[in-house]
Amino acid sequence: GSPVRVAAVDLGATSGRVMAGRVGPRSLHLEELHRFPNGGVRANGSLFWDVLGIHREVLNGVREVARTGPLHGIGIDSWAVDYGLLDRDGNLLGNPYSHRDSRTDGVPARVLEKVGAADLYATTGLQNLPFNTIYQLAAAQGTAALESAEQLLLLPDLLAYWLTGKIGAERTNASTTGLYDVTTREWAVDLAKRVGVPWAILPPLRDAGDVIGPVLGEVAEQLGVDAGVPVVAVGSHDTASAIVGVPATEDDFAYISSGTWSLVGLELEKPVLSEAARLADFTNEGGVDGTVRFLKNVMGLWVLSECLRTWSDQRIREASLAAVLEGAVDAPALRTVVDINDPRLLPPGDMPSRIQQLAEEAGEPIPRTPVAIARTVIDSLALAYRKHLRTAAELAGRSPSVVHIVGGGSQNHLLCQLTADAVGIPVLAGPSEAAALGNVLVQARTLGAPLKDLGAMRDLVRRTHELHRFEPRPGTDWDAAEARITR
């Protein structure tokens, strides 16, 4: 058939991008036509997303895709859990909060008193993160916005609503809310009732691959496109789209989706809801085509990017990403390691001081320079990947033979090599835009491209993208390092 050309909107917490994706029978081509910075905005004591600004950038990007060639579809994915509320007129009620806002401090404990951790896990299968939508809604109880809300839309669904006027919740992202039953694949209405969440605001569910609807006439005009262009539901959770874009040809592969967050785990056919999985605090998120993303959220390169922001504010000019990574390659290995998932690293702030504080508390040598701090972060990430991949494999009864690293972090060759060393199996790094590729591929299938399943999509990525291979190097005592942080 003739090639399909779509706009893939991929919104990360630190940058948003709009890509033109072209899929032919044996070809897959991605062109980045628009990129813009993203981040929380502090106002009136809270941390919000500038969602109208994001909407404008989505329009700007899609317009650019349409200007440069045919446009057969539009798909949107973004980070998980955050949402906007609509009033009865269909208007947005206030600004969507960032999941890094502190309003959920102390809330999970209150909710768990009502439902019990075991019950909650048995239904949702989710890692107990303070920002899960269920906790954000519990924190919002009694607010004017929640009381007048008619609909809750997760962010990619909100942006799709502004393009099409259609309301819904795509399942991969719904699965991150803590209000979704991972076994029945429906909203967990009873759970919502028990927590006091107004369940009627949860919109009808839809699947990745469904057509959401054609763009509204007014939007088509703004975009300079024909009114019929469909918006297609993709794996609207960016991590779900990224896992579609993992170029695995092996059956037993592990993955790390490495961006602002690192999502570390396995693709499974069924959730693992065992007591051991609950105690290990592993998540069972919904993947495209009914798969399960059995994984751990690791604090990720957020920690490094907040360090870089802090150094830039302090006018430490020599501390650019390229410079600290170059220095970190030659820094001594595992000199200082910290628990990179310490909850104090979640909110924005002076990250270098927090890393030093964690080192001091753990009795580790305190890293003093940007290079030493960056090396601490990278070593600590590799150590966390090792621990969680081993646990995932054990809990799921798998023994992966390779780790695929995708996302922006796949360009961090030091981290990729250390991951191979730490985990003890080869790492295949790339593509860095796996989420956008997954978004393109799911749209292309809906629009008629012959991609029968995830295997076919992954084959196409593998055949069209160059990967970097890292073999594990012996000689570093990772066990001893792990013992230092769990002491």
Site for ligand ADP in 245-274 (CB under 6 A): 259-260
Handedness of CA 147, 55, 406, 422 (dihedral sign): negative
User: How far is residue 217 from each of residues 76, 86, 214, 227, measured CA to CA in Å?
Assistant: 19, 21, 9, 5
Over the window 172 to 191, marking each residue x when it contacts ligand ADP by CB under 6 A and - when it does not, the resulting string is: --------------------
Amino acid type, 19: M
Of 96, 236, 104, the residue nearest 163 (C-alpha) = 236
From 7-15, 64-72, 94-102, 151-159, span contacting ligand ADP (CB under 6 A): 7-15
Over the window 307 to 326, marking each residue x when it contacts ligand ADP by CB under 6 A and - when it does not, the resulting string is: ------------------x-
Residue 184 DSSP SS3: coil
Cα–Cα distance for residue pair 361/194, rounded to 1 Å: 39
- Is position 239 an interface residue for ligand LRH (rule: CB under 6 A)? yes
Which run of H or E residues covers position 154?
strand 151-154
Residue with smaller CB distance to ligand LRH, 154 or 331:
154
Q: How many residues bind ligand LRH (CB under 6 A)?
A: 14
Residue with smaller CB distance to ligand LRH, 236 or 376:
236
Q: Which residue intervals of 85-216 are DSSP H helices? A: 107-115, 117-124, 133-139, 144-147, 155-164, 171-174, 189-195
Residue with smaller CB distance to ligand LRH, 11 or 372:
11
- Is position 236 an interface residue for ligand ADP (rule: CB under 6 A)? no
Contact 457, 445 (CB under 8 A): yes
Residue 174 tokens, joined: 């719904």
- Is position 61 an interface residue for ligand ADP (rule: CB under 6 A)? no
- Is position 14 an interface residue for ligand ADP (rule: CB under 6 A)? yes
Over the window 251 to 290, marking each residue x when it contacts ligand LRH by CB under 6 A and - when it does not, the resulting string is: --------xxx-x---------------------------
Site for ligand LRH in 145-174 (CB under 6 A): none
Name 279's Cβ contacts closer than 8 Å, sequence gap at least 6: none
Tell me the closest approach of the beta carbon of residue 438 to ligand LRH, in angstroms: 13
- Is position 411 an interface residue for ligand ADP (rule: CB under 6 A)? yes
Site for ligand LRH in 79-118 (CB under 6 A): 79-81, 99
Tell me the closest approach of the beta carbon of residue 151 to ligand ADP, in angstroms: 27
Which residue in the set 407, 430, 431, 438 belongs to the binding site for ligand ADP (CB under 6 A)?
407
Active site residue 238: yes
User: How far is residue 198 from each of residues 93, 154, 179, 270, measured CA to CA in Å?
Assistant: 15, 15, 11, 29
Measured in Å, how far apart are the chain's first and last C-alpha atoms? 60
Q: Which residue's entry shows tokens 């032919």?
A: 24
Name 138's Cβ contacts closer than 8 Å, sequence gap at least 6: 104, 107, 110, 111, 195, 196, 197
- Is position 238 an interface residue for ligand LRH (rule: CB under 6 A)? yes
Q: Which residue intervals of 186-279 are DSSP H helices? A: 189-195, 217-223, 238-244, 275-279
Contact 386, 423 (CB under 8 A): yes
- Is position 98 an interface residue for ligand ADP (rule: CB under 6 A)? no
Cα–Cα distance for residue pair 356/221, rounded to 1 Å: 53
From 82-90, 122-130, 189-197, 406-414, span contacting ligand ADP (CB under 6 A): 406-414
Which residue in the set 125, 400, 408, 438 belongs to the binding site for ligand ADP (CB under 6 A)?
408
Tell me the closest approach of the beta carbon of residue 257 to ligand LRH, in angstroms: 7
Name 410's Cβ contacts closer than 8 Å, sequence gap at least 6: 258, 416, 429, 430, 431, 432, 468
- Is position 134 an interface residue for ligand LRH (rule: CB under 6 A)? no
Binding partner at 15 among ligand LRH, ligand ADP, none, C-beta below 5 to 8 Å by kind: ligand ADP
Residue 383 tokens, joined: 């150590």
Site for ligand LRH in 62-81 (CB under 6 A): 79-81
Tell me the closest approach of the beta carbon of residue 303 to ligand ADP, in angstroms: 9
Residue with smaller CB distance to ligand ADP, 277 or 304:
304
Binding partner at 235 among ligand LRH, ligand ADP, none, C-beta below 5 to 8 Å by kind: none
Residue with smaller CB distance to ligand LRH, 154 or 229:
154
Binding partner at 301 among ligand ADP, ligand LRH, none, C-beta below 5 to 8 Å by kind: ligand ADP
Rg of the chain in Å (alpha carbons): 22
Contact 156, 77 (CB under 8 A): yes
Choice among 10, 77, 157, 238 that is catalytic: 238
Which residue in the set 123, 127, 412, 439 belongs to the binding site for ligand ADP (CB under 6 A)?
412
Residue 107 tokens, joined: 């809330």
Name 146's Cβ contacts closer than 8 Å, sequence gap at least 6: 85, 137, 140, 198
Which residues carry out catalysis? 238
Sites of contact with ligand ADP (CB under 6 A): 12-15, 259-260, 301, 304-305, 325, 407-409, 411-412
Sites of contact with ligand LRH (CB under 6 A): 12-13, 79-81, 99, 237-239, 259-261, 263, 297
